[in-house]
Amino acid sequence: MITLLKAAHIAALLIWCAGLLALPALLVQHGRAASQSEFGDLRRFVRRLYVGVLTPAAVLAVGFGTGLIFARGVFVAWLFLKLAFVGLLVGLHAWEGRLLLDLADAEPDVGWRAGLGMTGTGLALILVILTLVLGKPGFDPSVLPGWLLAPWPTYSSAAATPI
């Protein structure tokens, strides 16, 4: 079961991360469209890619990753640092989606510097996450609250006290 979860998590991550790295180049191409027809075709393609492939892959990657955390019972300090960087990756995903929405309202030019910045940011986040996952560095767990390092306690209905 854990092997299947891990394989699905990695597959979804590959699709999501590849898309996050490729999407800025496609957004930059909007400003270089030679005609309104070419602009519309590119915009439809990028929208389908974002809505139909990248966002579902992101949801699946996060879902399978969450399943792995609970299936393996991993509650260690490096994981929470990794999750913070995953949160930044989700923010990058949302930022790229916002730029795509802006293209629907007008024809803004996403400059090559912005595209390079998005690609560089995505690559840096992916490399940090990979380093944390593969290296599993040791951190002093005392800097984290105790409730973060253990699964949520389960209470039986008999032991629960009304408020």
What average pLDDT score do residues 151-162 get?
51
Q: Which long-range contacts (CB under 8 A, 24 or more apart) does 28-36 make?
A: 28/110, 28/111, 28/112, 28/114, 28/115, 30/103, 30/107, 30/108, 30/109, 30/110, 31/107, 31/108, 31/109, 31/110, 31/111
Q: What is the pLDDT of residues 87-145, one digit of tens each?
A: 999 999 999 998 888 877 665 567 778 888 999 999 999 999 999 999 988 877 677 67
How many residues are recorded in the chain?
A: 163
- Whether 65 has a pLDDT exceeding 80, the answer reads yes
Which region among 20-34, 36-50, 99-113 has the lowest average model confidence (pLDDT)?
99-113
Please tell me the predicted confidence (pLDDT) of residue 155: 42
Residue 162 predicted with pLDDT over 70: no
pLDDT, the chain, mean: 84
Which tokens belong to 160? 């629960």
pTM, to two decimals: 0.80
What gap in Å lies between CA 82 and CA 133, rounded to an integer? 7
Containing H/E element for 91?
Answer: helix 77-105
Q: Would you state the pLDDT for residue 12?
A: 97
Q: What's the rounded mean pLDDT across residues 71-81?
A: 83
Q: What pLDDT, on a 0 to 100 scale, did the predictor assign at position 149?
A: 64
Q: Is 24 helix (H, G, I), strand (E, B) or coil?
A: helix
Cβ neighbours, 10 Å, residue 116? 13
DSSP 100-141: HHHHHHS-----HHHHHHHHHHHHHHHHHHHHHHHH-----G
More confident site: 108 or 48:
48
Say what percent of the chain tops pLDDT 70: 83
For residue 80, CA distances in Å to 38, 52, 55 come to 44, 29, 23
